[in-house]
């Protein structure tokens, strides 16, 4: 059954003009980066909203930095997995007609070699000053528990989009266009519960925001389990992305 679905997915991709991919934490799971909702949305017994919201940061910035420093340290130790590499292969085939929209902040797509990456939720690599707003790429070097801006001395925060915050508008608009224009959308390793990112899937399916496209995109979901996106999926491939995506790429040839 899965083999037939893999062949169908490969055929849809091979005959597409434009491809958009939406990824979530599951694409990095096999690299060793924990997903968000696996442990019932908890980090060391703190609900994820407590360490990933402006309110949480105002209440206890040290705790929030402990969470992000721990994630930075994890990401510094890991490498891209076959799922990331398979997406690089797909991009090579489509060139400018390919967009990779990610909710991930771990930089593993870029490390694998993906080029057209739209980071909807920011990046673990960057800090943003709460005073002068300067954004800096600090790589994954260890930062203290209350890191300060080297220019104005104010507290730094991760350059991450937290619950209740707006997405970076230019990137969001680009993502909407990519979703609207694609013929195939590949949805990989996301629970599809966080909006507005998850709303890109029905946008691609219904093509209700673009005059340019006459037919809805084919949605292919790759996930361990069914998700909130499954009802929009034409093809569901259920299993580890690091095993399934390389098979899809192989079947495209
Ligand atoms: P979640 O943790 O909500 O979901 C991860 C998804 O990946 C689940 O559906 C898993 O079944 C699936 N999964 C796990 N391992 C997998 C594997 N090896 N292969 C395929 N699928 C696998 O993560 P996201 O959907 O990314 O936002 O969460 C969205 C946002 O919520 C995140 O960007 C983050 C979080 O709050 C911010 O930090 C702003």
pLDDT digits (tens, 9 = 90+) for 53-79: 999 999 999 999 999 999 999 999 999
Most distant CA pair in the chain, distance: 59
The answer, yes or no, to whether the previous bond of 196 is cis (omega within 30 of 0) is: yes
211 with 238, same domain? yes
69 with 84, same domain? no
Pocket test for ligand 1, best of 160, 164, 201, 223 (most atoms within 8 A of CB): 223
In terms of residue numbers, what domain contains 64?
42-77+125-160
Does 48 sit in the ligand 1 pocket, CB within 6 Å? yes
What residue owns the CA closest to ligand 1's atom 9?
A: 191
117 with 181, same domain? yes
132 with 14, same domain? no
pTM: predicted TM-score of the whole model, two decimal places: 0.96
* Confidence bin at 96 (pLDDT 50/70/90): very high
SS percent in the chain: helix, strand, coil, step 5: 40, 20, 40
- The total domain count for the chain is 2
Report the 10 Å Cβ neighbour count for 219: 25
The answer, yes or no, to whether residue 210 has pLDDT greater than 70, is: no
State the CATH number of the domain containing residue 135: 3.30.1600.10
149 with 56, same domain? yes
Distance 150 CA to ligand 1 centre (A): 34
Structure tokens at 146: 């209350």
Q: What angle do CA 205, 211, 215 make, to 5 degrees?
A: 40
Structure tokens at 137: 């790429």
């Amino acid at each position: 059954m899965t083999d037939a679905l893999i062949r169908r997915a490969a055929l849809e991709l091979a005959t597409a003009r434009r491809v958009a991919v939406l990824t979530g934490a599951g694409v990095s799971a096999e690299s060793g980066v924990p997903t968000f909702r696996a442990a019932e949305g908890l980090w060391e017994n703190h609900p994820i909203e407590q360490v990933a919201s402006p309110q949480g940061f105002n209440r206890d910035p040290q705790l929030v930095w402990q969470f992000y420093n721990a994630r930075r340290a994890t990401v510094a130790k890991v490498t891209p997995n076959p799922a990331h590499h398979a997406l690089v292969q797909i991009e090579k085939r489509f060139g400018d007609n390919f967009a990779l929209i990610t909710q991930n902040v771990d930089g593993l797509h870029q490390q694998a070699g993906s080029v057209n990456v739209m980071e909807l939720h920011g990046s673990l690599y960057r800090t943003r000053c709460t005073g002068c707003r300067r954004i800096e790429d600090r790589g994954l070097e260890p930062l203290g528990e209350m890191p300060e801006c080297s220019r104005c001395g104010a507290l730094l925060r991760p350059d991450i989009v937290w619950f209740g915050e707006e997405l970076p508008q230019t990137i969001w608009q680009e993502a909407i266009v990519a979703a609207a224009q694609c013929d195939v959308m590949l949805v990989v390793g996301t629970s599809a519960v966080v909006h507005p990112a998850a709303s890109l899937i029905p946008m691609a399916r219904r093509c209700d925001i673009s005059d340019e496209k006459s037919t809805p995109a084919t949605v292919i979901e790759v996930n361990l389990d069914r998700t909130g996106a499954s009802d929009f999926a034409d093809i569901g491939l259920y299993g580890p992305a690091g095993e399934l995506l390389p098979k899809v790429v192989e079947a495209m040839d």
